Structure 1
Amino acid sequence: MKRLLSFILSLIIVFSLIGCSSKTSKTAENVDLSNWDAVLKASKGTTVTFYGWGGNELTNKWVDNYLAKAVKNNYDITLKRVPMNIDDILHKLLAEKQAGSKNGSIDIVWINGENFYNAKKANLLYGPFSESLPNFKEKVDTASPEVTYDFGFPVEGYEVPFGKAQFVMLYNSDKVSKTFNNTKELMDFVKSNQGKFTYPAPPDFTGSAFVRTIICNLVDPNKLSDIKADKAEVQKVIQPALDYLNELKPYLWNKGKSYPATIAQLDSMYSDGQLLASMTYNPYGTTSRIENGELPSGTKSLLLDKGTVGNTHFLAIAGNSQNKAGAMAVINQILSAEAQALKYDPKNWGDLPVISYDKLQTDEKKLFDNIKLGQDSIPQNIMLQQRIPELRAELVPIIEKLWLENVAKGD
């Protein structure tokens, strides 16, 4: 997740320009968005723009090949996917808000954590709207902390869960005879295979998730749940993890003198045989990558016994969206059993579902039961049992800075 200093600074300016909240149930056409029949009627024949990350081919294909066709068939909505990085999306939202535009170009936004918090605080988002969506009320565990909070920030109905991700370790079973299931075994593995393991340098998202997973396996996560976002206080709590990473360091690739800058670099080194292990925050996305030769055929996944960090990704609606009704209809489709099951299938995406299996009808459950996960994958029920909710977003940059100062630059 990117933290945009320029965006945050811009918020200070925009507060003085915003005089009203997005809390309205009417569009410019005076549509009552709390009335689902009225929403469907208003959205018929319209176009909805979907702004979000476009860096994954499977994700893009799911939106273009399934979702766009589904909303066209079900609601007569034309879906336009606009690939854009979140920093550019936020600047666009802000610029249109500052210009006083009531007919913005953005409808749906794929957004998370601190970016969501800042956008919501600046009244750049429409809401609350989640309770107006039939599939949200009927199929989602609305009381789950992973639905009501986004990286520690209260959602309050201004965004709806889209899917789930969870950190897992990857290893080449053709070359590794003894794996690791906890931090002690990981240390033994790295020491026994010197130079064959490393991780991306934070703030790379996956590398940062690895560091947070190590922290949560060595430190009680509850100690970080309410801690003040103060560098000195955080360091006191996570010092055991920093010590562990420093002990690990001399046995890493290049003796820990440098780290891959991105997860793509790490995966390339792993695929080339330089490393015996890699990692990912998209656990079921590895199957297709193995099939297309991007990862070694012997790749398998594993979890640490105390769990790995996981988060929920969300969708929001722009406050000045021209088509809030259409946006709501599209998001409701995304929360259907069909959409979530297809997204769960590793052939299509491999994204963990956000709807509750227990709330589904028998025929809907079969959609998930019939999906075949790759031999590299860990069953979803085990994944969820060993899932650690993400730390508060405001702690992440502090942890990354502490890693840089105490591990990367340490002796």
Structure 2
Amino acid sequence: MKFLLDINKLMFFSNHRYTFRSTFLVAGSILILMLAITGCERTANQPELSTDATWEEVLKQARGQTVKMAMWDGDPLINAYIRDYVTPELQQQFGVTLETIGGQGSNLVSKLMVDLEAGRTTGDFDVMWINGETFYQLREMKVLYGPFTERLPNNQYIDWGNPFIAVDFQQPVDGYECPWGNVQLALIYDSEAISEPPRTKEALATWIKQHPGRFTFDNSFTGMTFLKSLLIEFAGGPAALKGPFNDEAYETASTQLWDWVRDVQPFLWREGKTFPEGVAQLHQLFSNDEVDFTMSNNDGEVDNKVLQGVLPKTARGYVLESGTIRNSHYLGIPVNAPHKAAALVLCNFLISPEAQLKKATPEVWGDGTVLSTKLLPEEWKAKFEQIPGRERIAPRSELEKQALMEPVSEIMVRLHADFREKIIEHASE
């Protein structure tokens, strides 16, 4: 029996106005039925990992396995961290070989849907780098292995009391994904051109109008996160958008947001008739002195991009007084992962104090840790409190005071669609 799924109708960034919650509930039901029909056969040489297996048994089964990790591979520092540090450490300490493949967001969702639609209960990868939008979809489809985080020895150090870690886009993690980094949106400006950056949306609008062509934002994830931060302020704060998607609340806040964007649009780079396709292009415009601002979803990126030579030494980062989005990125394991033992070992290593400290260093990555220093052994606590290299933006403990929780995933869908309809298409008229 074969089920045919229209993948295009289930892609995350849909332009349709129906919510994707019900769509993925239907898709999830279909996939569960398919799994029941096709069964859960495993290849003979890869037995299913018992949920009762001790950690010693997990380590024993993982040794000699090759674990494949699907991840965003667009940043050379992140790629180097995985290639030059994680890969050899995993092999040396645990006898596990790590291979990475490109893949993120809707691509991962589509791949898992196709696999399961075809009855492939043994997939092509074991671990995937995911966050809120993707997590929501995969949970609705019931294609995530878990709960598994309680099985990881280093789980004891995770700051689960932090809602920016325990909750992903308004959805409790519940052990179905493992946090491995925490970041906050930051605006980055040229301190040589700007002595004091605008810190409110009103001041920013005034600055844009007084400096035509020197500000813009990308039309991809980072730019939409910037708009989402403004949306929360227009809504009256995070509480106004908390919980399930509320169309009335969204429409009220977004009407004000699009009025703000249209008000400054003629004064944006290229008169707001076009926008950078991604944050990398925005960084390039900033580096070429075509604009005075760029931005990043990682508040630590201002330091590591300067160290890379991508941004000038005069770059400085900050957040708006009304706050910016803060969120975590996670590791998920598909239900059809062929090497679950090795996947658990990889996840556990990536949340170890040594691996978290390594990537928190700006010259390595500058990624925020998900560990609580209060829970760490004393020797590690001191090391985390003295991470060198963060010079061009306030400490994370300061930025947290202006941190905003992610609203539900549907809001990002609507922002993408409305931005194209109300701003981009309007500009071309």
Q: TM-score with structure 1 length normalisation?
A: 0.90
Question: Which stretch has the larger CA shift, 301-310 or 287-296?
Answer: 287-296
Q: 1:297 to 1:396 in 2, by over 3 A?
A: same
Distance 1:278 1:324 in 2: 40
Post-superposition offset of 1:382: 1.1
Post-superposition offset of 1:30: 5.6
User: For residue 218 of structure 2, what is the amino acid of its counterpart?
Assistant: P
Q: Among residues 392, 395, 413, which one is paired with 1:397 in the alignment?
A: 413
For residues 30-109 of structure 1, the aligned pairs below 5 Å read 31-109=50-128
Deviations 1:192-222 (A, max 9, x none): 2122111123xx1011011011122333221
Match of 1:287, SS state, is helix
User: For residue 109 of structure 2, what is the amino acid of its counterpart?
Assistant: L
Aligned to 1:125: 144
Post-superposition offset of 1:367: 2.4
Q: Among residues 355, 358, 381, which one is paired with 1:365 in the alignment?
A: 381
Is the counterpart of residue 190 in structure 1 residue 199 in structure 2?
no
Post-superposition offset of 1:393: 0.7
Q: 1:113 to 1:76 in 2, by over 3 A?
A: same
4+ runs of 1 displaced by more than 6 Å? none
RMSD: 2.5
Aligned to 1:271: 287
User: For residue 184 of structure 1, what is the amino acid of its counterpart?
Assistant: E
Distance 2:343 2:52 in 1: 11
Post-superposition offset of 1:32: 4.4
Is the counterpart of residue 156 in structure 1 residue 174 in structure 2?
yes
- Retained in 2: the 8 A contact 1:163–1:313? yes
Distance 1:359 1:112 in 2: 24
Distance 2:384 2:71 in 1: 26
Distance 1:69 1:48 in 2: 13
Q: 1:42 to 1:358 in 2, by over 3 A?
A: same
- Retained in 2: the 8 A contact 1:48–1:78? yes
Match of 1:283, SS state, is coil
Using the aligned pairs only, state the percent identity: 28
Deviations 1:274-293 (A, max 9, x none): 11111111221232322332
For residues 7-406 of structure 1, the aligned pairs below 5 Å read 13-19=30-36, 28=47, 31-136=50-155, 138-201=156-219, 204-218=220-234, 219-226=236-243, 228-230=245-247, 232-406=248-422
User: For residue 342 of structure 1, what is the amino acid of its counterpart?
Assistant: K
Q: 1:208 to 1:30 in 2, by over 3 A?
A: closer
Q: Among residues 12, 18, 27, which one is paired with 1:3 in the alignment?
A: 12
Alignment coverage as a number of residue pairs: 402
User: For residue 381 of structure 1, what is the amino acid of its counterpart?
Assistant: S
* Residue ranges of structure 1 left out of the alignment (5+ in a row): none
- Retained in 1: the 8 A contact 2:363–2:389? no
- Retained in 1: the 8 A contact 2:148–2:175? yes
Match of 1:178, SS state, is coil
Post-superposition offset of 1:29: 5.2
Q: TM-score with structure 2 length normalisation?
A: 0.86
- Retained in 1: the 8 A contact 2:232–2:253? no
User: For residue 375 of structure 2, what is the amino acid of its counterpart?
Assistant: K
Deviations 1:205-243 (A, max 9, x none): 01101101112233322111135343x541113333332
Match of 1:364, SS state, is helix
* Residue ranges of structure 2 left out of the alignment (5+ in a row): 1-10, 15-19, 41-45
